[in-house]
């Protein structure tokens, strides 16, 4: 599997080839043939990382958001504008 730098370089070369007004159909097909696997690899990597992020933000035991998830969400809310928070201490809570 190529590194991110190699993939970036490949995509840059393909972008240059595809932008050339004098590129032949063969050159264009060749450039696209290199781009498709690179994009598929990047999409697979994004999917893997998204899954890992979801796992990191969810407690495997309870299925509830972790402290990191709550903190990230709180930062988003505070950045969006005025907000209020209600904190409840549930010591000795029994359903």
What is the band of 17 on the pLDDT scale with cuts at 50, 70, 90?
Answer: confident
Domain positions in the chain are: 4-80
DSSP characters for 31-78?
A: HHHHHHHHHHHHHHHHHHHHHHHHHHTB-TTT-PBPHHHHHHHHHHHH
Burial classification of residue 7, based on how many CB atoms lie within 10 Å of its CB (0-12 exposed, 13-18 middle, 19 or more buried):
middle
pLDDT given at position 63: 86
Task: Convert the pLDDT of each residue in 43-90 to its tens digit.
Answer: 999 999 999 988 888 888 888 899 889 999 999 999 999 999 888 887
Q: What is the pTM of this model?
A: 0.58
pLDDT given at position 69: 92
């Amino acid at each position: 599997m190529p590194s991110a730098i190699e993939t970036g370089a490949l995509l840059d070369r393909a972008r240059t080839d595809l932008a050339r007004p004098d590129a032949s159909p063969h050159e264009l097909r060749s450039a696209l043939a290199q781009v498709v696997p690179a994009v598929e690899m990047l999409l697979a990597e994004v999917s893997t990382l998204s899954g890992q992020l979801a796992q990191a933000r969810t407690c495997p035991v309870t299925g509830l958001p972790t402290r990191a998830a709550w903190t990230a969400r709180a930062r988003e809310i505070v950045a969006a504008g005025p907000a209020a928070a209600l904190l409840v201490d549930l010591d000795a809570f029994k359903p």
